[in-house]
Chain A
Amino acid sequence: DTAVSQTPKYLVTQMGNDKSIKCEQNLGHDTMYWYKQDSKKFLKIMFSYNNKELIINETVPNRFSPKSPDKAHLNLHINSLELGDSAVYFCASSPGLAGAVEQFFGPGTRLTVL
């Protein structure tokens, strides 16, 4: 059973399009995250949700909008895609808010904007 799953695994699209990435966790965790990993492998947090409420919202363009319909899901919608959005996006979950708790990561979604 996959603990944290993301779809799609690969996403290739044109500039200006709108796309969504879905994330689901079956671990019963309260907290979920979205990270962006660029070509230099720097993993940067974008958002975190705790019990469907937004906790962390880093300096991310408002073209990025997370949506948490329930505790087990945190989807990421991106409007008007730009070349610089190309990266690998990771979803993660943890049993509580970040700290000394383990974060469980999904396999990533590689987004390529042409």
Chain B
Amino acid sequence: TQLLEQSPQFLSIQEGENLTVYCNSSSVFSSLQWYRQEPGEGPVLLVTVVTGGEVKKLKRLTFQFGDARKDSSLHITAAQPGDTGLYLCAGSNNNDMRFGAGTRLTVKP
């Protein structure tokens, strides 16, 4: 049983489309992070959210932490082929971090 459920598991879209991926849990987290992993490399941090309801923007990426701090979403506007990768969410409590299984995004030119 995974603590963090990510959906969809796979997503393939055309360049220019918008998309949203989700990270859900029944547990409350003190903070939540989103990482992107490209093939053959380790994950790289995109953002950390710590306050319920918090919204952070990183260029075309918008991250939201749920009010109850149990879930999060990542919205990408006008996706580009360079956005292709595995998007992982990770929730933390008491110095313990757990990763979701990830959403594998493919953006076709």
Are A105 and B44 also in contact (CB < 8 A) when A41-B102, A99-B30, A99-B97 are?
yes
B99 on interface, CB distance cutoff 8 Å? yes
Closest-CB distance, A83 to chain B (whole angstroms) = 22
Contact A92 B42 (CB under 8 A): yes
Secondary structure call for the B interface: strand
- Tally inter-chain residue pairs, CB-CB below 8 A: 58
Bits for A13-45, please: 1 = Cβ < 8 Å to B, else 0. 000000000000000000000010000111111
In the bound complex, residues from chain A placing their C-beta under 8 Å from that of B45 are 102-103
CA gap between A109 and B97 in the complex, in Å: 21
B60 on interface, CB distance cutoff 8 Å? no
B101 on interface, CB distance cutoff 8 Å? yes
In the bound complex, residues from chain A placing their C-beta under 8 Å from that of B42 are 4, 90, 92, 105-108
Contact A107 B40 (CB under 8 A): yes
A87 on interface, CB distance cutoff 8 Å? no
Contact A102 B48 (CB under 8 A): yes
Interface footprint category on A: 20 to 34
Closest-CB distance, A78 to chain B (whole angstroms) = 19
In the bound complex, residues from chain B placing their C-beta under 8 Å from that of A44 are 99
A114 on interface, CB distance cutoff 8 Å? no
- Name 5 interchain pairs, CB-CB below 8 A, sorted by A: A35-B99, A42-B102, A100-B30, A100-B50, A102-B45
Question: Could you list which residues of chain B lie within 8 angstroms of chain A, going by C-beta atoms?
Answer: 2, 30-31, 33, 37, 40-45, 48, 50, 86, 88, 92, 95-99, 101-102, 104
6 further contact pairs, Cβ within 8 A, besides A56-B96, A92-B42, A100-B48:
A42-B99, A99-B95, A100-B92, A105-B41, A106-B42, A108-B40
